[in-house]
Amino acid sequence: MWNIQPAIEVIRTTEALSPASGIASDRITSASEVSSYARKPFLQLEQLYFSDGLTFNITNTWTEMICSPGYRIDGLDEDARKYIEDWLVSIDFEDTKLPKITQHAILYGNAFCEIIFNEKGDMIVDLSEPLDPKSIDFKRGNSGYPLLDPYGNPVAYVQNGVYNQKTGKSFIEIPSEQMAHFRLYTLGASQLGIGIIEPIYWTSIGKRSIDEKIAQQEFRRATPFVMAKIGDINHPPSAEEINKVHDALKNITYKTDFVGPYWYDIDFKSSDGSNTSLNSASYFVGQEVAGSGLPTAYALGTGENQNRMVLDLIVSLTEKKTERYQKNISNLMEKIFKRKVEMKFGKGKKSPKMLWNSFSQESLDKKIDRLVKEIQVGLLQPDDDLKKVIRQLEGYPTNVKTDEYLHKSDSNAPAKK
């Protein structure tokens, strides 16, 4: 079994989470001073995802870019490799759990999955779908700070809103060895991750405010403001007459006809769209896209007139970012692989790696072309190992007969008469 180090209470970068709204604050504590800075509650990040189309598209685009290439399980030990590969298929990891983990990591900066063991506790059997991050907190000591082991990792997590039959309380404690905590970015000694959406939160809010203003301006332009003067010096209006005209005009449409005496003065005040508001909206969109780390064409789903060299550079940088996000996921998954392999085969068994496929067909083509050139100049030899790598890149089956195997088979075959 995996040993758990004794917990200690730390006085350094820690988080204060509110079960009702997610992150409340991030506290940096030293012996001489206490300062704080606000982190956005997970609930507000969710509301942006639901209500802001650009935030919705940024989150989904990053999720697709990270997950859509797929991955392969590779390792020198075929038994361990096949064992992990079959397990991931059995828990529907690639099609169901991986996209949700990625979506949570991008939106919240954190994805929490429970590692599920069998009844004996000596075998990992499943990995849960991501838990609601609004319900997850760190186990805390009497001072309110998270309890950390000597390596600076949380000793346990708490899931709120779940009834515990043993204790009768509305929360359960999940030991750290039973929790897979995926984080996109980290900063300092903070235990919480930082996603893509939180850094552009205020920009997104600003864009939404401008969008609302432009919508109101367009509504007013399509529905002009009506000013009515009733009566003159010789025809003083009564309250009943004023109310009658008001009722006739307040629901005015393009079908409305109105007839009145000459002492009624009806004036329609037109409203033109504000270029200032439109320029402000473009500014906020540009800032939101820039903060997302996506090329403008990816974030907005539109084409761009770009110099070919600049466009290649942007695509290359986007590939590097995607690979970094993928690596954050595979690093944690490989730790789970290691534990599962050791529980099955014992320590010393070589655990496999989680390798991601190429970002795009164009990048795959470039990689294959580079391999061909390196073979031509003698940097690589087209042996069975290289053939296996190329077959994996192309998505072909890798369990093929090698040249050595076929040669041995031919030598053992009976001689033809």
Q: What is the spatial distance between Cα 212 and Cα 222, in angstroms, rounded to a whole number? A: 15
Confidence (pLDDT) at 110:
95
Cβ–Cβ under 8 Å, residues 65 and 101: no
Residue whose C-alpha is closest to residue 3's, from 182, 124, 189, 176: 176
Confidence (pLDDT) at 218:
72
Tell me the two tokens of residue 307. Answer: 């110099």
Residue whose C-alpha is closest to residue 55's, from 252, 214, 211, 196: 196
Residue whose C-alpha is closest to residue 133's, from 103, 97, 155: 103
Note the pTM of the prediction, 2 decimals: 0.73
Distance of CA 357 to the CA centre of its chain: 19
pLDDT tens across the length of the chain (417 residues)? 344 344 444 433 334 443 333 333 333 333 222 234 568 899 999 999 999 999 999 999 999 999 998 999 999 899 999 999 999 999 999 999 999 999 999 999 999 999 999 999 999 999 999 999 999 999 988 888 888 888 888 999 999 988 778 888 888 999 999 999 999 998 877 788 999 999 999 999 888 888 877 777 777 676 777 888 888 888 898 899 888 888 888 877 777 777 888 888 888 776 665 667 777 778 888 889 888 988 887 888 766 666 667 667 777 888 889 999 999 999 999 999 999 999 999 988 999 999 998 765 555 566 667 777 777 777 777 777 777 767 766 666 655 554 554 454 455 555 544
The long-range contacts involving 275-280, CB below 8 angstroms and separated by at least 24 positions, are 277/210, 277/213, 277/214, 277/217, 278/214, 280/210
**Which DSSP category does 96 fall into?**
I
Q: What is the spatial distance between Cα 194 and Cα 215, in angstroms, rounded to a whole number? A: 32
The alpha carbons of the chain give a radius of gyration, in whole angstroms, of: 31
Backbone angles phi, psi at 269, to 5 degrees: -95, 110
Nearest 5°: CA angle at 367, between 362 and 368?
100
Handedness of CA 159, 164, 168, 173 (dihedral sign): negative
Confidence (pLDDT) at 250:
80
Residues 6+ apart with CB under 8 A from 363: 319
Which residues in 96-132 are b (16+ Cβ under 10 Å) and which e?
Answer: ebbbebbbbbbbbbbbbbbbeeeeeeeebebbeebbe
**Which DSSP category does 296 fall into?**
H
